[in-house]
Amino acid sequence: MDVLSRLQYFGPLDAVGVVGISLSWLLIGYFVENGFFGRASVAALMIDYRREWMKQFVSREPRIFDASILGNLRQGTTFFASTCLIAIGGGLAVIGNTEQLLGLAEDLRLDNAPALIWEVKILFFVLFMVNAMLKFVWSHRLFGYCSVIMASVPNDRSDLAYARAAQAGEINITAARSFNRGLRSIYFALGAAAWLLGPEALIAATVMTFAILWRREFASDSRSVLMQPLGKKP
């Protein structure tokens, strides 16, 4: 059975699911970074706090507290990058073992599609995880750049100190943006894994993933706290 004949196992709903999850991933990313009809996301609101952190950093003595926070941020990127590598390795290992793949499909009582179909579905999941890993690796590197710039900030309140602190703040913001993109890719990778259960499951998982991300960024309690005027209790 050639490749084209095997692709007959993919129906219109499969195409709708793949296009839908891809567009949802791009759309939620755009809304998070640019706002949803004038409504800022939690990630966008945190940008001002990151800039304010660097301003306060200039006059803080000692600066161990700031170094500890940055170290925790780098540990987070390392953890997620390692997790993505494990998931990628597991996915590729399953793709490389056709007999095991077909046995798994039979155990789960899924349809009797050829191995190529399952390989495509798993590869789709792996692609999201690869994107996430690359984002986390770049975020880790940027947080490293940020730490070097922070170390170059003089121990005074001169214009040079605030200028370098501002540079560190912008690098920190860029690193956080890449980190958030990696997290979103993981969310949608989990949604893409639902394709193994069929196109209907993929579409349902896409809607659920988009709704979860939208709520956490635009309608969560954490956003309400960030939007509270200073001096008032939430």
Residue-range domain boundaries for the chain: 11-227
Residues 106, 166 contacting (CB under 8 angstroms): no
pTM of the model: 0.89
User: What burial letters (b/e) apply to 143-166, b meaning 16+ CB within 10 Å?
Assistant: beebbebbeebeeeeeeebbebbb
Q: What is the reported pLDDT for 77?
A: 96
Give the model confidence (pLDDT) of 50-85 as tens digits.
999 999 999 988 889 999 999 999 999 999 999 999
Residues 129, 91 contacting (CB under 8 angstroms): yes
